[in-house]
A and B are shown apart, each in its own frame.
Chain A
């Protein structure tokens, strides 16, 4: 029997091969968490359902306003400033300003869409996610500290996502804390109110691919990250955007699940360090790739003697290894690249590129 015959025998045999998966497999697939979340998201993006949802959520908000407003007054009369229960801090390992600004931009976007997102996730009725969305709004308010008294409005905006009782509970809690707990004695950022900082955890973050991120939860009695780590901090080098879920035991003894979103994107240019202009179609040009929008791009290439041999403002144009129609010899060349990234910061990069023939 020859090798070729073996290939043909198997090909012929398995051309239309079918097998029956076990009956339980469909159940397993249909109950998959990711798929369910996806289906829910799709349904809510459907224009028909969307208008219906917006309508019903509107009604719900109105109803909640009606029910909650007397209590709001009560709280204000009792001189209990309503402050966010959850406060968070961003941890971005790289301290470059660019990153921080990007992170801030990202978070802003997140907050803008916070209401719609909450609605989507809410059908899963995970209190952690809801709490977290609440907190991202709270954070906004904490930043604009003079806005504190208006907090109830913001919280009730989010309230439709959770059951009515839960929403009210979350909302009233800060004012109801009569007995001091240990965590109340800890130093608290953002606010002078000792009732405000019970549980702290990393806020949603945006980072560059593969850079270090440390997520944390403070003042929790037990912290279990759902990726299988039991520690108050989680050090990750994410390659893809993801939501990290963490089960915590709040100082008040209640279990909850928090969700911390880490958005990951490519930053910086991809600059190859060698190329081979031999016409084989592979790596024939020295070309820079930018994962994001950049402007004012300039690429200049110099011989080691200092003579400028290539210059372009078009990022899609690469150097093919020729100068005035003549092939440049193998060896090292220098490049200088300048560009402005999408947040307006100017960059200047220089380095060496090797040409192999």
Chain B
């Protein structure tokens, strides 16, 4: 069991040893979050990278009032949303390389048909805006209003996006089930 207090103090003093301990302790949990918010593994790792830099630099402002895990999760979600907003602001869209990348990802996970991998693929395939809203509301439990503030849109837009996200996911699941039946 790691000693949270010691690690926090170590990180606050900028000691790499403790930063590594913190990383090892949380990296898989946070990577899980990033995988949900990103389009593919590469993007997820970029978000995770930025999140950890932010965590290490901002840890001096962490007062220890809540759990450390909740705080690092919050930072990661915020980083993911920032990445999404930046993407929207720069008008950046899928380029060819990335398109191939995501197709590859799909192939990998359809061979491994556990429910989780399948559902993750479905999330990854959603348009960026839908994915952000869906993750924030359904899995991370933010309210419509909070999401609207984070994404810089109105609560109505958030509701619409959520609805569309769920429709898209529903369709994906149904198609998949149908295909499965055909195979059988």
Binding between chains A and B: yes
**Taking beta carbons and an 8 Å cutoff, which residues of A are in contact with B?**
1, 3, 6-7, 9-11, 13-22, 25-26, 28-30, 32, 34-35, 38-43, 46
CB-based contact B27/A11 at 8 Å: no
Known: A20-B28, A30-B20, A43-B13. A14 touches B166 (CB 8 A): no
How far is A246 from B49 in the complex, measured between Cα atoms in Å? 26
Partner of B35, one of A19, A22, A25, A43: A19
How far is A123 from B22 in the complex, measured between Cα atoms in Å? 25
Give the distance to chain B from A201, nearest Cβ to Cβ, in Å: 28
How far is A30 from B60 in the complex, measured between Cα atoms in Å? 18
For B1-42 the 0/1 string (1 means CB < 8 A from A) is: 000000000001111100110010001110110111000010
Give the distance to chain A from B18, nearest Cβ to Cβ, in Å: 11
What interface size band does chain B fall in?
35 or more
Known: A25-B45, A42-B12. A10 touches B169 (CB 8 A): yes
**B138 contacts the other chain (CB 8 A):** yes
Point out the residues of chain B lying under 8 angstroms from A32, CB to CB: 49, 53
**B163 contacts the other chain (CB 8 A):** yes
Point out the residues of chain A lying under 8 angstroms from B163, CB to CB: 3
Known: A11-B139, A17-B35, A20-B31. A25 touches B16 (CB 8 A): no
Point out the residues of chain B lying under 8 angstroms from A39, CB to CB: 14-16, 19
Point out the residues of chain A lying under 8 angstroms from B169, CB to CB: 6, 10
Give the distance to chain B from A170, nearest Cβ to Cβ, in Å: 30
Point out the residues of chain A lying under 8 angstroms from B60, CB to CB: 42
CB-based contact A26/B20 at 8 Å: yes
The interface residues of chain B, by DSSP majority, are classed as helix
**Taking beta carbons and an 8 Å cutoff, which residues of B are in contact with A?**
12-16, 19-20, 23, 27-29, 31-32, 34-36, 41, 44-45, 48-49, 52-53, 56-57, 60, 115-116, 119-120, 123, 134, 137-139, 163, 166-167, 169-170, 173-174
Give the distance to chain A from B32, nearest Cβ to Cβ, in Å: 4
How far is A43 from B11 in the complex, measured between Cα atoms in Å? 11
Point out the residues of chain B lying under 8 angstroms from A7, CB to CB: 137-138, 166
Partner of A19, one of B31, B56, B137: B31
Give the distance to chain A from B116, nearest Cβ to Cβ, in Å: 5
Partner of B170, one of A3, A17, A18: A3
Q: Which of B60, B137, B138, B174 has the most CB of A within 10 A?
A: B138
How far is A87 from B74 in the complex, measured between Cα atoms in Å? 46
CB-based contact B116/A35 at 8 Å: no
- The residue on A at minimum CB distance from B30 is A21
Give the distance to chain B from A23, nearest Cβ to Cβ, in Å: 11
Known: A25-B48, A26-B20, A28-B49. A18 touches B31 (CB 8 A): yes
CB-based contact A9/B119 at 8 Å: yes
Partner of B49, one of A1, A3, A16, A29: A29
